Amino acid sequence: MDTTKIADNIDGLADRQIKAGGIKLTPASVFAIITFLSTVVGGLYGGFVMYQKIEEVAGLDLGEYQQAMDVMDAKVTGISTKVEESVEYTRDIKNGLRDDILGIEKQTDRVEDTVRLIEDSVDALLRDHEAKIRTLIDAADVRFESQRDRLRTSQDAEMKELEARLTKKLQRALDNPLAN
């Protein structure tokens, strides 16, 4: 798995396109449409609420109305603070993930280097042992050939000696046919 591709996919999210109803939209344009619609709906809702409030204000005193406005301002301020905190937290998570991915890449590279070194070492050992085994086989072949030659020579000598004895006995038998 290539971690730089993952990081590029996260960074390249804004360039992606979503197809909805035959229209291609980017995430930014989808967000803009949602923002526009929520603004319009929020504006209409705010206008309706404001209309109701104006009708209520006609029967209320301004101090009570001011208190209600202060409460609404506090809620809006709290919500925007929470949104900012959420964006910052999301950014921190993204940076943490990127750092983790880069750390994993470095560890993977170190493991690959170690594996290559071990493979090279094992290959060298195998070549060394193969050379030693070939040397042993060659030495054994030389000893075998030497032993075979010695046995042939010994066998040839024994055969000549046997042939000489047989010839001698045959000659004695031929010289004295009545001896047998």
> What is the token pair recorded at 167?
């010839």
Asked if residues 14 and 28 have their Cβ atoms less than 8 Å apart, the reply is: yes
Position 134 pLDDT exceeds 70: yes
pLDDT of residue 3: 67
Q: Which residues pair with 18 in a beta bridge?
A: 25
Asked if residues 27 and 18 have their Cβ atoms less than 8 Å apart, the reply is: yes
Asked if residues 21 and 105 have their Cβ atoms less than 8 Å apart, the reply is: no
In three state form, how does the secondary structure of the chain look? CCHHHHHHHHHHHHHCCEEECCEEECHHHHHHHHHHHHHHHHHHHHHHHHHHHHHHHHHCCHHHHHHHHHHHHHHHHHHHHHHHHHHHHHHHHHHHHHHHHHHHHHHHHHHHHHHHHHHHHHHHHHHHHHHHHHHHHHHHHHHHHHHHHHHHHHHHHHHHHHHHHHHHHHHHHHHCCCCC
Half-sphere exposure of 28 (CA within 13 A, CB side): 5
> What is the token pair recorded at 129?
């042992």
Position 161 pLDDT exceeds 70: yes
* Residue pLDDT, tens place only, 52-94: 887 776 665 666 667 777 777 777 777 778 778 888 888 888 9
* Residue pLDDT, tens place only, 24-56: 777 777 788 889 888 988 888 988 888 888 777
* Residue pLDDT, tens place only, 84-100: 888 888 888 899 899 98
